Amino acid sequence: MTTRTTAGQSEHDRVVRASATTYEEWIKKGYKVSVNLGGEKNQFVGPPFNPRYPDIVVWMPDYFGSTSGKAAIIEEVETAESIADSEAEQWKDYGDLGVKFLLIVPNGYCIETLRLVAKYGVNVSEIWYYYFEYGGNIKFEKYE
């Protein structure tokens, strides 16, 4: 895994939090949205004997109040400094889970991301990019 600078980690965490707020319609349908920032391990995907902790997990609880359930979407957020071979290996692992897998990258990094996706045979469902508007608001757009 790539080590981020303090500024890179701060950007990453801001983008993760902002992206997690985009699932309001899913929450209305009973889904939960969990965020795993830094070393946090709030919600995993995959088998319990080999848990993985993507940045965001959108999941349906098994029953009301349950802390386990079925993942519907997982997201990995990257910054300019973390779009690298070491991360692509992790993307491959996430893409092989059979869950809708989104990669969120900075604006201007989609081509490099696609190169790494092809190189490692990553099963990515969608690539989105983010950018900062004047005033600091974070916007997301799907890469077509």
**pLDDT value, residue 72:** 97
**pLDDT value, residue 1:** 63
**The pTM of the whole model exceeds 0.75:** yes
Domains and CATH numbers, the chain: 6-142 (3.40.1350)
Q: What is the mean pLDDT of residues 79-100?
A: 95
Instruction: Specify whether the CB–CB gap between 38 and 50 falls below 8 A.
Output: no
| 140-144 contact pairs (CB < 8 A, 24+) | 140/18, 140/19, 140/22, 140/104, 143/110
Per-residue pLDDT tens digits for 35-82: 999 889 999 999 999 999 999 999 999 998 888 899 999 999 999 999
